Chain A
Amino acid sequence: MSVALFGILLGVFFTLAVYTFLYKENPYSRFAEYVFIGAATGYGIAYDLDWLKGQWVGVWSKTIGDSIAFVLALLLSVLWYFRFSKKYFFLYRIPLAITVGTSIGLALRGVVFAQVLEQVRATAALKVVGVDAWTAFNNFVTMLIVVCTLAYFTFTLKQEAAFWKPVNKFARYAMMIGFGAAYGYTVLTRMAVFIGRVQFLLGIPPNPVEAKMFFPWVALILLGTLLGYDYYKKTKK
């Protein structure tokens, strides 16, 4: 068996091993899970090291000053591992503080424009006149939902007056429809993941066609051993 073919066989085995979890928790699914976590971690570290090598060769090794800065940054990154030391735990907080500070600073730079102002502008620019009836209706509903949902989360006012009740009710229903749509998309994604694996198992191009050959045999072996073991345990009792 060639290396490529063995790789496909492994792909079929691990795909089906993960799905055996649907039957129940078992050694196959656990083995597949652990192998995946190990491989993904090793793979991530390898890529990070490769990027660091590229940075050293391409950018930071050119001058003494840059080289010192690079080494200092590397030493700083090693401090992350003091997370596992009770005595020197405080050292872990230094890279953590730098990472959190940099990330928040970078995000704050654009968050107001990207996620608040542009959305307010877009909502305010919605037209209900001078457009076709369907667009006008859609825009009106959008504006109504925005206003009512914002009102729903206004806690600084006591919402005792009678008109708050229908406003809050409308906002709640609008949010429920939103959550429902989001859940619908979640189902779509989960199905798509499954469909992707089924395409692989059936060898639908560009997936390797050899997968189709291994699929029934591996499925039979996995299911057979799981069901057989369960039957053995039952009869032993």
Chain B
Amino acid sequence: MATSRVWEKLEALDARIIYLILWIVILLPFIYPIGLPVSIGPQALAYAKAIDELPAGSIVVVSFDFSFGGLGELYPIAVATLHHLFTRPVKVVIIAIWVDGPPIADMVLKELKPEQPPYNKKYGVDWIFLGYTPGGETAMAALGKDFWSTLPTDYYYKKSVSEYPIMQGLRSAKDVALLVSFETGTPGADEWVRQWYVPYKVPMIVGCIGVMAPTIAPYLAGGQIKGALPGLRAAAEYELIIGRKGLGVASADVLSTSHIVFVLFVIIGNIAYFMRRRSK
């Protein structure tokens, strides 16, 4: 009877105790790093390869399609991707389909400072920030058709896009060599594939939150998306590939410890359930 009560108690464990344990296992590795190894998967390699293989002078459109809720996973991916792009001789056009996109992109750009070494990229010539356009899938279709009328001014200086040299080579999706989307949901990959891959065959890579990985998988298998980084773990892999350790690698230990604890709770819960049933 006493054993049965123990299992019952364990099954009905106060959720706050679990939260407290999670707080501790997430805080501790930040204060005392363990340095657990991170293996690199094929998707992160394919993502990096898509950027590495871009011919010089290509136009890359980078879209910030996520809200502040996705910052934990997507900020490291965005920083690493833009760093990678700025180290290559390509032209980068930054846009946002989600309303939270501009301030997040601004945060990333302020951290990287593309005008300064090692990048030395000139605004309006090598890169431009066009800001947010509302409308979701409709906006994607409109951008694919005509960039100039959908986003007539840039984000920072509110000047007409026709005044920037970089925009002379970008009128529609036909001029885009690669689309990079950082996303947390809808509108996101489904809509980009429908509006940019199907009609214009624009190659695409995606940085997304982990929960979106199963949604992206069929597009990867179909070759519509060339590479994907789902979640913080993939961010760590990508940071190692490009040789710029950031928040992704810094979070690798914490991800492992928190997941180990989570799996342990699932195992304990199941054992408690079966033991209680057996003792009845």
**Are both chains from one complex?**
yes
Residue of A nearest to B101 (CB): A47
Q: Are B214 and A185 in contact (CB under 8 A)?
A: yes
B232 vs chain A, min Cβ distance (A)? 4
Interface-side segment among A2-10, A84-92, A105-113, A161-169: A105-113
Residue of A47, A114, A121 contacting most chain B CB atoms (<10 Å): A114
Chain B: interface size category: 35 or more
B3 to chain A, nearest CB (A): 30
B221 touches A54 (CB 8 A): no
Nearest Cβ distance between residue B154 and chain A, in whole angstroms?
10
The yes or no answer to B16 lying at the interface (CB within 8 A) is yes
Q: How far is the CB of A82 from chain B (nearest CB, A)?
A: 21
CA distance in complex: A66, B213 (Å): 43
CB within 8 Å for A119 and B194 given contacts A54-B153, A195-B258, A199-B30: no
- Mark each residue of chain A from 109 to 138: 1 if its CB lies under 8 Å from any CB of chain B, else 0: 111011100110111000000000000000
Residue in B27, B199, B251 whose CB lies within 8 Å of A110: B199
Interface digits, B190-225 against A, CB 8 Å rule (1 contact, 0 not)?
A: 110111011100000000011111100011011110
Q: Which residue of chain B has the shortest Cβ distance to A197 in the bound complex?
A: B72
Task: Give the one of A55, A111, A121, A185 with max B CB within 10 A.
Answer: A185
Q: Counting CB contacts under 8 A, is B54 at the interface?
A: no
Query: Once the chains bind, are B255 and A182 in contact (CB under 8 Å)?
Result: no
What's the nearest-Cβ distance from chain B to residue A210, in Å? 16
Given the complex, which residues of B lie within 8 Å of A55, measured CB to CB?
152
Known A-B contacts A57-B153, A103-B138; A188 and B259 likewise in contact (beta carbons under 8 Å): yes
Name the contact of B19 in the complex, choosing from A22, A54, A57 (C-beta under 8 A): A22
Which of B195, B221, B254 meets A122, CB within 8 Å?
B221
Q: Are A196 and B99 in contact (CB under 8 A)?
A: no
Please tell me if B46 contacts chain A, counting CB pairs below 8 Å.
no
Q: Is the CB of B211 within 8 A of A195?
A: no
B114 close to A (CB within 8 Å): no
Q: Say what secondary structure dominates the interface of chain B.
A: helix
Which of B213, B224, B230, B250 interacts with A204 by CB under 8 Å? Answer: B250
Q: Known contacts A189-B211, A198-B27: does B160 contact A58 (CB below 8 Å)?
A: yes
Contacting residues, chain A, for B65 (C-beta < 8 A) = none
B127 partner residues in chain A, CB cutoff 8 A:
none
Closest to B141 in A: A106
Q: Which residues of B contact A191 (CB under 8 A)?
A: 26, 232, 255, 258-259, 262
Whether the pair A188, B211 counts as a contact (CB closer than 8 A) is: yes
Minimum distance in angstroms from B204 CB to a CB of chain A: 11
Q: Which A residues are CB-close (under 8 A) to B134?
A: 47-48, 51
Query: With the chains together, A181 CA to B213 CA distance in Å?
Result: 9
- Contacting A at CB under 8 A, from B1-36, are 15-16, 19, 22, 26-27, 30-31
- Tell me whether A65 is interfacial, beta carbon within 8 Å: no
Docked CA distance A206–B141 (Å): 35
Are B198 and A114 interface neighbours, CB within 8 A?
yes
Taken residue by residue from 50 to 62, chain A's Cβ proximity to chain B (1 for < 8 Å, 0 otherwise) reads as 0100110111000
Q: Is B243 an interface residue (CB 8 A)?
A: no
Which residue in chain A gives the minimum CB-CB distance to B111?
A206
Which residue of the partner chain A has the closest CB to B215?
A: A182
Contact of A44 with B138 in the complex, beta carbons under 8 Å = no
In the assembled complex, the Cα of A48 lies from the Cα of B131 at a distance in Å of 11
- In the complex, chain B residues whose CB is within 8 Å of the CB of A232: none
Tell whether, in the assembled complex, residue A196 and residue B149 are in contact, meaning their CB atoms are under 8 Å apart: no
A43 interfacial contact with B, CB 8 Å? yes
Chain B residue at minimum C-beta to C-beta distance from A111: B194
A-B contact pairs, 26 of them (CB 8 A): A47-B132, A102-B138, A103-B138, A107-B137, A107-B191, A109-B194, A109-B198, A109-B199, A110-B198, A118-B222, A181-B213, A186-B210, A188-B232, A189-B210, A189-B211, A191-B259, A192-B73, A195-B251, A196-B72, A196-B73, A197-B72, A199-B30, A199-B251, A202-B31, A204-B30, A206-B111
Taking Cβ atoms with an 8 Å cutoff, the residues of B that contact A are: 15-16, 19, 22, 26-27, 30-31, 69-73, 75, 79, 99, 102, 107, 111, 131-134, 136-138, 141, 149, 151-153, 158, 160, 190-191, 193-195, 197-199, 209-214, 218-219, 221-224, 230-233, 247, 250-251, 254-255, 258-259, 262
Interchain residue pairs A-B with the least CB separation, the first 7: A196-B72, A58-B152, A110-B194, A188-B210, A110-B198, A118-B222, A122-B222
